[in-house]
Each structure stands twice: as structure tokens, then as C-alpha cells.
């Protein structure tokens, strides 16, 4: 037997001797006290473990809350899409290009791009509309060149304004749309030829085009519809009605809208 075992044996014997010396009541008290001490010790450890769990949960909840708050603050607000614009600059016969009767019951304002294939299609539709409803509607052409898609559109818009200076806006506009329809695009180096073919003074035309004197006129138009594609048009009725026409709508749809305003 080792010394540790012998020492332990002696301690156990001493404890038994002490208990034998106690009366039954004293022995009961010692048992109760011992039991209470054991329960208190166990309770302490239970509370300690539970407290750590609660603290960990609180810390996790706070961290999650901070993450949510941070995410909400960092996430940019979704931009609200603007309603389709229908309120444009009033038609000015001294500035705007108008086809049809000046005092017609209905006004159609179109924002267009000379190289846009959809504008080309809508141009043909509007020419048909004007043949039938020319006494009831005036067609106002305004510029919205899409530079990122059509590299010659802005130059074509300038060319049309220079033609308008000589009273032939619509002649050159029709010619450029036909040219674009046939070749798929416009050639800026041939604008002087276009001008000659519609009867313009090419010297005056070239000087006007080179100077870009109507650049601000074009900017004034396009700023009204900065987020719209082309063509974009609005019909204005005799009683203040407004009907947006977004895109190259077919003849039947445009005619139906016109008829609704004439009723």
C-alpha cells in the first residue's frame, strides 16, 4: 500500500470516528448542511452557464441588429421611375416645325431621332395620318438624338435645322428618313448632297452646319425627355386631354387615339 493510500485511509477513518461521536440529531444537521452546500454549488454553476448563454445570445442579437442597420443605411434607395412626361414647352410657330393646320383641334408633339429605325417607321405612319387627318391635327417635330446608339443623329438634327432656316425642314427630314431606311444609316459626309437634292443653297447650308448654330435649339428639345426612348409622342386634345404614344405605334393605334379626341 502506498503512502497516499494509507493517508487517505486514515482520513476516512477519522471522519467515521467523528460521525460516531455525534448524536443522531447532530448527524442529521451535518447531512442537511452538506446537502445544501452541494445544491448551492450546483446552482452556482447552472446560473453561470445560463448567464453566459444569455450574454452570448444578446451579443449575437446586437450584432445582427447592427448588421441590419448597417445594411439598411448602406443600401441605396431605389430611384422612383418618373411618370411619362406630357408637359412640354408650348408650341411656338416661330421656333417649332409644324406640319398641318396651325389652328388644328389636336396637336401631336413628337421627339425623334433621324437614325432611329423605329422613328423611321413612325414617320411613315404619321405621313399617312396627316394625309387623312391633316385638317384636324398638327404635327410638331422635336429632336431627341440618341448619341450612344446613332452617331450621326445629332449632326442630322443640326442639318434639319439648317434646312429649316431656308424653309425646307420637312423636305430634308423626309429625305434623311428615306435615306436611312434604304441604307440603314446616314452618312454625315453626304449631308451637303442631301441639301442639294432638296433644293437648298448648299453654301449657306454648309456654313450653318459647320457653325453648329442650332446646337442649343436641339438641347432645349432633348432636355424635356431625358429618359425616354424614341420615338416618343404626346397627343393633346381640344379639351386638355393628353395621350402619350410611346414607341412606333401602328397606324390603327394612332388613328384610334385621334378619333377618341375628336369625339
Secondary structure, 3-state, the chain: CCHHHHHHHHHHHHHHHHHHHCCHHHHHHHHHHHHHHHHHHHHHHHHHHHHHHHHHHHHHHHHHHHHHHHHHHHCCCCCCCCCCCCCCCCCCCCCCEEECCCCCCEEEEEEECCCCHHHHHHHHHHHHHHHHHCCCEEEEEEECCCCCCCCCHHHHHHHHHHHHHCCCHHHHHHHHHHHHHHHCCCCHHHHHHHHHHCCCCHHHHHHHHHHCCCHHHHHHHHCCCCCCCCCEEEEECCCCCEEEEECCCCHHHHHHHHHHHHC
Domain boundaries, the chain: 3-66, 97-262
Overall pTM surpassing 0.75 (yes/no): no
Domain 97-262 adopts which CATH fold? Glutaredoxin (3.40.30)
**Per-residue pLDDT at 73:** 35
* Mean local confidence (pLDDT), 74-97: 65
pLDDT tens digits, residue range 45-74?
444 445 444 444 444 443 333 333 333 333
Amino acid at each position: 500500500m502506498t503512502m497516499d493510500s494509507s493517508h487517505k485511509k486514515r482520513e476516512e477513518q477519522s471522519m467515521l470516528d467523528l460521525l460516531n461521536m455525534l448524536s443522531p440529531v447532530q448527524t442529521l444537521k451535518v447531512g442537511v448542511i452538506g446537502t445544501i452546500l452541494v445544491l448551492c454549488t450546483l446552482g452556482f454553476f447552472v446560473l453561470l452557464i445560463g448567464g453566459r448563454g444569455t450574454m452570448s445570445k444578446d451579443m449575437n442579437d446586437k450584432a445582427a441588429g447592427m448588421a441590419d442597420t448597417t445594411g439598411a443605411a448602406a443600401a441605396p434607395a431605389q430611384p422612383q421611375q418618373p411618370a411619362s412626361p406630357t408637359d412640354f414647352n408650348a408650341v411656338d410657330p416661330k421656333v417649332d416645325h409644324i406640319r398641318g393646320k396651325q389652328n388644328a383641334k389636336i396637336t401631336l408633339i413628337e421627339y425623334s431621332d433621324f437614325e432611329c429605325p423605329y422613328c423611321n417607321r413612325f414617320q411613315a405612319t404619321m405621313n399617312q395620318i396627316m394625309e387623312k387627318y391633316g385638317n384636324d391635327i398638327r404635327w410638331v417635330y422635336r429632336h431627341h438624338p440618341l448619341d450612344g446608339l446613332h452617331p450621326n443623329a445629332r449632326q442630322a438634327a443640326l442639318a434639319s435645322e439648317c434646312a429649316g432656316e431656308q424653309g425646307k425642314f420637312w423636305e430634308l427630314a423626309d429625305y434623311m428618313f428615306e435615306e436611312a431606311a434604304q441604307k440603314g444609316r446616314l452618312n454625315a459626309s453626304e449631308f451637303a448632297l442631301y441639301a442639294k437634292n432638296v433644293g437648298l443653297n448648299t453654301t449657306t447650308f454648309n456654313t450653318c452646319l459647320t457653325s453648329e448654330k442650332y446646337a442649343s435649339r436641339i438641347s432645349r428639345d432633348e432636355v424635356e425627355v431625358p429618359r425616354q426612348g424614341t420615338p416618343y409622342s404626346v397627343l393633346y386634345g381640344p379639351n386638355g386631354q393628353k395621350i402619350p404614344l410611346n414607341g412606333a405605334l401602328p397606324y390603327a393605334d394612332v388613328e384610334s387615339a385621334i378619333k377618341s379626341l375628336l369625339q
